[in-house]
Structure 1
Amino acid sequence: MSDINIVIASYSGFGHTAQIATAVADGARSVPGTQVLRVDVASLGDADWELLDAADAIIFGSPTYMGTASGAFHTFAEATSKRWSTRAWRDKLAAGFTNSGSMSGDKLHTLQYFALLAAQHGMLWVSLDLLPGWNTTTSSPEDDNRLGFYLGAGAQSFNDTAAVHDADLNTARHLGRRVAEQTRIHHAGKAAAAR
């Protein structure tokens, strides 16, 4: 089994999103033969751009501030235009995760922003593929995907604590595992098609 390379390109303002990125990485690493690296989009160097260019999949992550990804993530997205113009990220897999203090907090808009960025690059989006939890009288806030997102992983963490809800971290691990599994399938399919 050949290795696949996943890069998590994220920004964390207060540490919550960094915890989610760690959970995503842990989930991806649970798939044998998966190498995961993380880059902070607020301080990218040439080596970080090279990692992104060499990745089989890129997972975008940012807190949701004022209804969208952070300013640092938007600056990164604009800087990717050099890759866009050469189609450098075409056919890589992509996914995303976000966090805010509120249950909704307009996180869907951030996930849509990530998916649109990926589409502009010709990337292939990987959804969460988890049914929503915590939506019946017999369910629990401990359910995976307790916030009910489909496009990517959404998390809620209170503004006055450093903790991220365990169910949201489990959901993030699921996203990482799913991206690694789908990247492996995509990688094998490309290899078979090249024969």
Structure 2
Amino acid sequence: MIIKVIYYSMYGHVHTMAEAIAQGAAEVEGAKVDLRRVPETLSKDILEKMGAVQAQDKMNEVPVCTVDELDEASAIIFGTPTRFGNMCGQMRQFLDATGKLWAAGALIGKVGSVFASTATQHGGQESTILSFHTTLLHHGMVIVGLPYSFQGQTRIDEVTGGSPYGATTIAGGEGQRMPSRNELDAARFQGRHVAELAARLG
């Protein structure tokens, strides 16, 4: 059973969440977890101006995903930062290249799940995941979120991401906040939950 964790991360926040997602999925017996990033669409000059080169260099060891890899997965867990309440352009471009898979019905019945990052508490965490689900539904995937059995999403004693739609983190306006322990726990829970359901669906 292959679980793909496919993400885009500019400053490392989604990358950190993706690693936790992968850790959780790997806890399920029989799960082989592949961590992948989608291709970058910005030039190095632009990334330098955005202060993202150092973070990008740290992620270079993660292989870039190809569309053809998706067909072999039992479940795919996507991670994206938010851009105006929606997925980032890099992820959108990657998904827009999956038309051949759609035409073949290659992803029908596979488990799909999403996690995300925003700068602020109300910066589109839920809308990003929900709008992402539209693409997964067009592919016929079985959508899985973060159930309330992960009780950390109901905490009110600290600022935290996470909702029934998926694990999330709050990065701060300048990217100064990395995922908290609770947010990483949510990511691990989601990864494990997705892998368990994929195993049941067989």
TM over 0.5: yes
In structure 1, the partner of 2:167 is 153
Aligned length: 177
Separation in structure 2 between the aligned mates of residue 22 and residue 104 of structure 1, nearest angstrom: 24
State how 1:3-14 maps to structure 2 within 5 Å: 4-14=1-11
State how 1:77-96 maps to structure 2 within 5 Å: 77-96=95-114
In structure 1, the partner of 2:185 is 170
Unaligned runs of 5+ in 2: 41-62
Shift in Å, 1:89: 0.7
Separation in structure 1 between the aligned mates of residue 64 and residue 186 of structure 2, nearest angstrom: 32
* Shift in CA distance, 123/61, structure 1 to aligned 2, threshold 3 Å: same
Shift in Å, 1:109: 1.3
Unaligned runs of 5+ in 1: 188-195
Shift in Å, 1:107: 1.3
Separation in structure 1 between the aligned mates of residue 95 and residue 69 of structure 2, nearest angstrom: 16
Shift in Å, 1:176: 0.2
Structure 1 runs of 4+ off > 6 angstroms?
none
Separation in structure 1 between the aligned mates of residue 64 and residue 26 of structure 2, nearest angstrom: 25
How high is the TM-score relative to the length of structure 2? 0.81
Q: Indicate conservation of the 8 Å contact 1:157/1:165, yes or no.
A: no
In structure 1, the partner of 2:197 is 182
* Shift in CA distance, 46/23, structure 1 to aligned 2, threshold 3 Å: closer
In structure 2, the partner of 1:192 is none
Identity of aligned residues (%): 30
* One-letter code aligned to 1:185: R
Instruction: Tell me whether 149-158 or 166-175 shows the greater mean CA deviation.
Output: 149-158
In structure 2, the partner of 1:193 is none
SS in 2 for 1:58: strand
- Cα RMSD (Å): 2.1
State how 1:42-191 maps to structure 2 within 5 Å: 42=39, 48-130=66-148, 131=151, 132-135=153-156, 140-141=157-158, 146-158=160-172, 159-161=174-176, 163-187=178-202
